[in-house]
């Protein structure tokens, strides 16, 4: 085999790469691949949240209350018999009530990392507005995500968000039609009906 001469350019480029790597060290999490999606890890990075929430709650209460008092007296005098006198009182109350609530929300929303906490967890915040036919729907989300919960496609499920605040609002004609009128709200506030 024949020895090929090493070009001074290769030596200079190799030295420059070593010098730059020493001055600006490369961190493992910042290395990206052509075959994977980089995970969110810094302020300003985005992460896709898959919201899949279902809640159900029910409560039942029943009260039975009863109370009674009875007092009777009989007086007798010599050679006279007075009728028996008395007083009787009773009251009772039966009450029951129940409430039930069910709700579900499914959506995808992209949130931004707004803070990297000292333990490495990420505080995220996101908002999505959708307007169709003058009906506006707004989804807000915020919370804390562990980097280990972020999937390969830079996604995280809403159930893995700590201190999650998810808010869904609607504004427009449909929302206004579902709202009671001003007189109904006034009467309800005054507790007239």
Mean pLDDT within 147-161: 89
How confident is residue 107, by pLDDT bands cut at 50, 70 and 90?
A: confident
Q: What is the DSSP code (8-state) at residue 43? A: T
How confident is residue 174, by pLDDT bands cut at 50, 70 and 90?
A: low
Q: Per residue in 49-66, pLDDT tens?
A: 998 887 788 888 777 766
Q: Per residue in 79-96, pLDDT tens?
A: 666 666 666 666 676 777
**Any idea where the domains of the chain sit in the sequence?**
46-58+66-190
Burial 64-90 (b: 16+ CB within 10 A, else e): eeeeeeeeeeeeeeeeeeeeeeeeeee
The residues, ordered by sequence, that sit 6+ positions from 96 with a Cβ below 8 Å of its Cβ are: 60, 61, 62, 63
pLDDT value at residue 74: 64
**Residue 172 contacts residue 130 (beta carbons within 8 Å):** no
* Paired sense of beta strands 162-171 and 46-73, if any: unpaired
Terminal-residue alpha carbon distance, the chain: 103
**Residue 180 contacts residue 186 (beta carbons within 8 Å):** no
Burial label for 142, CB within 10 Å (0-12, 13-18, 19+), is middle
**Contacts by 159-162, CB closer than 8 A, 24 or more apart:** 159/52, 159/53, 161/49, 161/124, 162/121
């Amino acid at each position: 085999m024949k020895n090929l001469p090493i070009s001074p350019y290769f030596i200079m480029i190799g030295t420059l790469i070593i010098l730059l790597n020493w001055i600006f060290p490369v961190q493992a999490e910042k290395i990206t691949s052509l075959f994977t999606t980089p995970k969110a890890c810094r302020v300003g990075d985005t992460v896709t949240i898959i919201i899949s929430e279902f809640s159900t709650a029910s409560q039942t209460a029943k009260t039975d209350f009863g109370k009674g008092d009875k007092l009777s007296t009989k007086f007798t005098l010599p050679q006279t018999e007075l009728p028996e006198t008395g007083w009787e009182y009773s009251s009772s109350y039966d009450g029951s009530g129940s409430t039930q609530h069910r709700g579900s929300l499914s959506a995808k929303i992209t949130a931004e990392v707004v803070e990297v906490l000292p333990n490495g967890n990420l505080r995220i915040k996101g908002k999505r507005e959708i307007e169709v036919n003058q009906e506006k729907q707004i989804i807000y989300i915020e919370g804390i995500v562990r980097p280990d919960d972020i999937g390969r496609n830079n996604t995280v499920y809403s159930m893995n968000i700590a201190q999650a605040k998810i808010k869904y609002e609607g504004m427009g004609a449909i929302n206004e039609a579902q709202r009671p009128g001003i007189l109904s709200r006034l009467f309800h506030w005054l507790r007239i009906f």
